[in-house]
């Protein structure tokens, strides 16, 4: 029987938001996926971003070291939480990192569903 556990991202303190401090690669660590490549064992990643700056900002999300094509998304200023990663799955200790144009103005809130068949 499959198990399903909802958890905070591995780099969150007490489930709080993570400020994106990095402005270049490697970005601020958001989450490290479950270790190993066992079939049927994954982390399902959900991310939202908020921009508290006075203008829109570009956010880059990297999956794994050496991600040569990070996802880039414009986060509008002060409009609330914007979904940026809708439940994609990862494993093998892949790290999700983020960087932005301006330090400490975008924050990310995340949760992870750890799924095992």
Give the pLDDT score at 46. 97
Q: What is the pTM of this model?
A: 0.93
Using 50, 70 and 90 to split pLDDT, how confident is the model at 86?
A: very high
Q: What is the mean pLDDT of residues 26-44?
A: 94
Q: Within a 10 A sphere around the Cβ of 26, how many other Cβ atoms? A: 13
Give the pLDDT score at 2. 80
Using 50, 70 and 90 to split pLDDT, how confident is the model at 111?
A: very high
CA–CA gap between residue 114 and residue 99 (Å, rounded): 25
CA–CA gap between residue 27 and residue 31 (Å, rounded): 11
CATH topology of domain 3-116: Jelly Rolls (2.60.120)
Looking at residue 65, the DSSP 8-state letter turns out to be: T
Give the pLDDT score at 73. 96
The bridge status of strand 82-90 relative to strand 71-75 is unpaired
Q: What is the mean pLDDT of residues 15-42?
A: 95
Give the pLDDT score at 68. 79
pLDDT at 98 > cutoff 90: yes
Encode pLDDT of 39-62 as tens digits. 889 999 999 999 999 999 999 999
Q: What is the mean pLDDT of residues 26-30?
A: 95
User: What's the token pair of residue 63?
Assistant: 């999956």
Domain chopping of the chain, boundaries? 3-116
């Amino acid at each position: 029987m499959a198990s399903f556990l909802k958890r905070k991202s591995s780099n969150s303190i007490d489930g709080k938001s993570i400020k994106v401090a990095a402005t270049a690669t490697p970005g601020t660590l958001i989450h490290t996926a479950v270790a190993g490549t066992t079939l049927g064992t994954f982390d399902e990643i959900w991310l939202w971003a908020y921009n508290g700056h006075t203008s829109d900002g570009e956010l880059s999300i990297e999956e794994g070291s050496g991600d040569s094509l990070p996802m880039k998304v414009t986060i509008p200023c002060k409009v609330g939480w914007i979904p940026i990663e809708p439940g994609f799955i990862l494993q093998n200790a892949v790290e999700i990192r983020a960087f932005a144009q301006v330090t400490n103005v975008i924050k990310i809130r995340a949760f992870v569903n750890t799924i095992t068949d």
